[in-house]
């Protein structure tokens, strides 16, 4: 209970100090070559607008935008979103057909990506992200219909055979579902023919037609064989995303620290980043998110970036 109260206070303080964002110009879709898909909630509305606006400004174009409402957005939230992203398509979480996968834990958002990617390149963007500088690597991936993924914290920076990834993970004794799965890959007969990347689903690009619900459900079924009911815990969607990306031909792990998650490590040069993902436990650590958000808002208030 104390953790929730503290988190709510930090969010309120962040929103208050970012209120100038609401005076920045709207972004209007002008690029049909891809679709931006996100899921957000009432408590992260300001974060989502920061994420979407900063991404589009630094990319230099605004794609089609689809936003998944987790069920908590109010009428006022809808009005705010549409005033800043006039052509946005807002869907309710119940509008997404369920699949043979766990419920919750961002699975509905990822199933939506599976559906949208049949007709469009898709960038999945989390609400707790900021794009603070130019991102030519993303432009290149979209233009080439090439997949990309943000790497996890201190991940091996390449796509590798699944059996090698499993061996690399043996020393990680965390009880989290991702770590359990990674240690257990070598129990799968299919492992010899698969690849893996320890990515982060907060920022991923999927080429048009690159994934399907059938493939997603196949990977989900595969991992459930190994970890049983643990597969229903938060984090299983992340493992499936990593598997799908790694097994798409030409997938590109984004270079770190240019694209990085903020874990408040003292030895990571976060100021060198173009893209930052503010992970929940460390989101407001050291006031760095707010510092970067203020810079983003100042840039959004000025002349749009070409």
Q: What is the pLDDT of residues 132-160, one digit of tens each?
A: 999 999 999 999 999 999 999 989 999 99
User: Is the Cβ–Cβ distance between 149 and 228 less than 8 Å?
Assistant: no
Does 193 fall in a domain?
A: no
Mean pLDDT of the chain: 95
For residue 257, cis peptide bond before it (omega within 30 degrees of 0): yes
Does 180 fall in a domain?
A: no
pLDDT range class, residue 306, cuts 50, 70, 90: very low
User: Is the Cβ–Cβ distance between 221 and 171 less than 8 Å?
Assistant: no
Does 130 fall in a domain?
A: yes
The structural domain count of the chain equals 1
Confidence at residue 208, expressed as pLDDT on a 0 to 100 scale: 97
Q: What is the pLDDT of residues 173-219, one digit of tens each?
A: 999 999 999 999 999 999 999 999 999 999 999 999 999 999 999 99
Does 67 fall in a domain?
A: yes
DSSP per position, 244-292: HHHTSTT-EEPPTTTEEE----TTS-GGG-SEEE--GGGTTGGGHHHHH
Q: Which residues pair with 35 in a beta bridge?
A: 64, 122
Interatomic CA distance for residues 279 and 71, integer angstroms:
22
Collapse the DSSP code of 98 into the 3-class scheme (helix H, G, I; strand E, B; otherwise coil) and give the result.
coil
pTM of the model: 0.95
Q: What is the CATH number of the domain that holds 249?
A: 3.90.550
The pair of three-digit structure tokens given for residue 95, joined into one six-digit string: 């509008």
Does 82 fall in a domain?
A: yes
Q: Which domain holds residue 280?
A: 2-154+198-209+245-301
Does 191 fall in a domain?
A: no
Does 178 fall in a domain?
A: no
Q: Which residues contact 243 (CB under 8 A, 6 or more apart)?
A: 194, 196, 219
Is residue 276 over pLDDT 90? yes
Does 173 fall in a domain?
A: no
Q: What is the pLDDT of residues 40-90, one digit of tens each?
A: 999 999 999 999 999 999 999 999 999 999 999 999 999 999 999 999 999
Q: What is the pLDDT of residues 242-272, one digit of tens each?
A: 999 999 999 999 999 999 999 999 999 999 9
């Amino acid at each position: 209970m104390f953790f929730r109260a503290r988190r709510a206070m930090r969010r309120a303080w962040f929103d208050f100090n970012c209120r100038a964002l609401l005076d920045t110009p709207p972004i209007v879709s002008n690029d049909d070559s891809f679709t931006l898909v996100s899921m957000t909630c009432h408590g992260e509305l300001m974060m989502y607008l920061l994420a979407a606006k900063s991404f589009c400004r630094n990319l230099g174009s605004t794609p089609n935008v689809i936003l998944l409402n987790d069920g908590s957005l109010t009428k006022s939230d809808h009005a705010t979103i549409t005033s800043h992203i006039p052509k946005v398509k807002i869907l309710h979480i119940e509008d997404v057909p369920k699949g043979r996968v766990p419920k919750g834990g961002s699975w509905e958002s990822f199933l939506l990506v599976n559906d949208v990617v049949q007709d469009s390149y898709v960038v999945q963007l989390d609400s707790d992200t900021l794009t603070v500088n130019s991102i030519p690597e993303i432009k290149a991936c979209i233009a080439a219909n090439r997949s990309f993924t943000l790497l996890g914290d201190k991940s091996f920076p390449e796509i590798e055979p699944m059996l090698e990834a499993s061996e690399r993970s043996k020393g990680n004794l965390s009880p989290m579902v991702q770590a359990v799965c990674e240690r257990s890959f070598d129990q799968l007969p299919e492992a010899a023919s698969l690849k893996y990347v320890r990515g982060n689903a907060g920022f991923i690009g999927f080429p048009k037609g690159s994934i399907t619900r059938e493939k997603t459900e196949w990977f989900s079924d595969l991992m459930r064989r190994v970890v049983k009911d643990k597969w229903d815990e938060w984090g299983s969607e992340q493992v499936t995303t990593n598997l799908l990306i790694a097994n798409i031909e030409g997938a590109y792990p984004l270079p770190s620290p240019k694209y990085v998650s903020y874990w408040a490590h003292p030895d990571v040069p976060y100021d060198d980043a173009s893209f930052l993902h503010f992970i929940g436990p460390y989101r407001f650590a050291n006031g760095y998110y707010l510092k970067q958000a203020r810079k983003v808002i100042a840039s959004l208030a000025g002349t749009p970036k070409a």
